[in-house]
């Protein structure tokens, strides 16, 4: 299993989601994920208008693929973990990547500036 193989299966997963075919997207998942599909579907901004792969990288326990899923009113980033199951890349875990909180910008303190 290499990066290209993981990317191809992640693309198939994204394509199925874009087509609105949850059953076909589940074909890329492990038996354990398929048996508990509800929480994964609940994370998705269905219907999707766009699905892209942000990155694919090797991790200690398999491969990580970060997906960017865009719906009509929401964008979600999903981290998926892939392992070799029966000779093919299989999604074994999916988790929502929370948005980073926006830090308020510090305003310049003008009270100590010399006036001229």
Q: Where are the domains of the chain?
A: 3-97
pLDDT, tens digit, 9 for 90 and up, residues 11-41: 999 999 999 999 999 999 999 999 999 999 9
> Which of the following CATH numbers is that of domain 3-97: 3.40.50.2000, 3.40.630.40, 2.40.160.100, 3.10.450.50?
3.10.450.50
- Higher-confidence position of 115 and 69: 69
- Confidence (pLDDT) at 44: 93
Residue 28 phi/psi, 5° resolution? -85, -5
pLDDT (mean) for 90-110: 74
* Tens digits of residue pLDDT in 40-77: 999 999 999 999 999 999 998 899 999 999 999 999 99
CA-closest candidate to residue 55, choices 68, 40, 45 = 68
Which pTM was predicted? 0.82
């Amino acid at each position: 299993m290499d990066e290209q193989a993981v990317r191809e299966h992640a693309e198939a997963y994204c394509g199925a989601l874009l087509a609105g075919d949850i059953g076909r997207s589940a074909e890329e998942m492990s038996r354990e994920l398929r048996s508990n599909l509800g929480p994964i579907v609940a994370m998705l901004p269905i219907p999707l208008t766009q699905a892209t792969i942000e990155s694919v990288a090797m991790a200690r326990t398999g491969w990580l693929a970060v997906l960017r899923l865009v719906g009509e009113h929401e964008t979600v980033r999903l981290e998926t973990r892939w392992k070799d199951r029966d000779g093919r890349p299989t999604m074994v875990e999916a988790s929502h990547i929370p948005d980073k909180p926006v830090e308020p910008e510090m305003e310049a303190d003008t009270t100590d500036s010399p006036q001229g």
